[in-house]
């Protein structure tokens, strides 16, 4: 069964460094999302992406964040200058149709900012 994949599974970085989290959505899906979950808290929406542009973003998704679909398969989340509070599990998801369709999640990347 097709699934969303994410790399790396765990990333450790120093505060102020740039990180890129990578995702390969399910191949026939058109809508892509990033969510994050700080330890012990709710899963929170960051951004949705369709047709090579951002559809929606939350207030968390400030100028430090950016997303890109650099080729036909990858979907990336970049954090330009990481802060301690960016430490979280980051999940990528995809869906065939829009956000009201079933979203399928990847296993997550655990980001630790020191």
Does the protein bind another protein through residue 90 (CB under 8 A)? Answer: no
- With contact defined as beta carbons under 8 Å apart, do 77 and 97 qualify? no
Site for another protein in 5-34 (CB under 8 A): 33
Quick one: tokens of 75? 């979907």
Among residues 104, 15, 88, 82, which one has the least CA distance to residue 46? Answer: 88
Span near another protein by CB under 8 A; candidates 13-21, 65-73, 80-88, 97-105: 97-105
Binding site for another protein (CB under 8 A): 4, 33, 35, 41-45, 48, 55-56, 58, 91, 93, 99-108, 110
């Amino acid at each position: 069964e097709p699934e969303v994949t994410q790399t790396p599974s765990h990333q450790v970085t120093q505060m102020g460094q740039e990180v890129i989290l990578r995702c390969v959505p399910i191949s026939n899906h058109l809508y892509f999302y990033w969510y994050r979950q700080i330890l012990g808290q709710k899963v929170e929406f960051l951004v949705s992406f369709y047709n090579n542009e951002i559809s929606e973003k939350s207030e968390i998704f400030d100028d430090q964040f950016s997303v890109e679909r650099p080729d036909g398969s990858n979907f990336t989340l970049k954090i330009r200058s990481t802060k301690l509070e960016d430490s979280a599990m980051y999940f990528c998801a995809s869906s065939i149709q829009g956000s009201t369709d079933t979203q399928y999640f990847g296993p997550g990347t655990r980001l630790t900012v020191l």
